[in-house]
Amino acid sequence: MKPRKGVRLEGIPYTWETNLDDDEIRELYGLIQGNLAARPPGSTDDVLKGSGPGISISLDLDSLFIAEVPFRDGMCLCGGFDGVLYVTYRTHGEWEALRREDREMLEARGREERREEVDAFLHRTRDQELQDQTLLAIDLGEYERADALISERLGLLKQACGGDWEFESLEVIGDALTAYSAFPTSANGIAFLHRTEPDPVTFLEFAQSYLDLNRSSSGAKVDQVDLVVRAATDLFPDDGECHASAALFWRRQGDYPRAAFYCRLAISRNLSDRTKSGFPGRLKRLRKEAERAGCPLPPEKE
């Protein structure tokens, strides 16, 4: 019988939600009425012990009780709260089938959890191995091998995380950009970023990392840094904030010509930096700052 809600019978208190028919409700109530008549739901007694066969009803301070009541050729699972009795009847065979299903489900869940633990351990082990091999390849000057190992590590992450890989990728991408900062050119790092659904900030973080690691090198390394910055503005040609960040990046390095270049690029693309004076005002301020620093910018072309 399907469960019924809001069942009220004459002479029997409480609202019932049960799969019992009316006659069965009366029969069950006869077994437990000593318990319920003396202490209805809402009582704060801790334990109720009735006169019915094998009945033990526990009642907590939230006015909730649960009882297993032998009934006919099976058992009723009874629960009471706020004046409502919830009763489900099944035969012994049906309850045993449910318990068996629960055990099988728990066992299957346990096997799945153990498998996931093993997979996670293998992933962590391989991930660390790839990172260690990458650093060793860089130390040996084997940059193509290092690039392949970084790509393999990213692929391992995507395989492990599926569609959510980008949310778990910060460490892998950070390690990769640090490694690419030690490469002779920035090209491999730029190509890597294009494979990771990047944003402008990530490009500029790589530019800063490459610059920090190569500050004592020749101007050729600075050119490599600018390739990273330019890659960002090329990938996001309609992003005014990206161009403003590019100009600010070079201004902070004291490289006013490059900072001015990105202001002009933004002006040519009709972009806004969300300030009142816009990129023309930013360029004007750069000119004044460059003059104070003793490295004036050349006049603008008509």
Going from N- to C-terminal start, the domains of the chain cover: 4-99
Token pair for 3? 């469960």
- The percent of residues in the chain predicted with pLDDT above 70, rounded, is 85
Contact 211/181 with Cβ under 8 angstroms?
no
pLDDT confidence band for 58 (50 / 70 / 90):
very low
What pLDDT, on a 0 to 100 scale, did the predictor assign at position 158?
84
Mean pLDDT for 266-279 is 93
pLDDT at 49: 38
The predicted model gives 6-23 an average pLDDT of 90
Mean pLDDT of the region 292-302: 81
Least confident of 33-42, 87-96, 181-190, 209-218: 33-42
Q: Distance of CA 191 to CAs 130, 198, 220, 235, Å?
A: 19, 11, 19, 12
Backbone angles phi, psi at 76, to 5 degrees: -105, 130
Residue 84 scores a pLDDT above 90: no
Question: pLDDT band at 296, cuts 50/70/90?
Answer: confident
Of 232, 231, 252, residue with least CA distance to 241: 232
pLDDT of residue 55: 39
User: Which pLDDT belongs to residue 56?
Assistant: 38
Angle between the 256-268 and 278-292 helix axes, to the nearest 10 degrees? Answer: 170
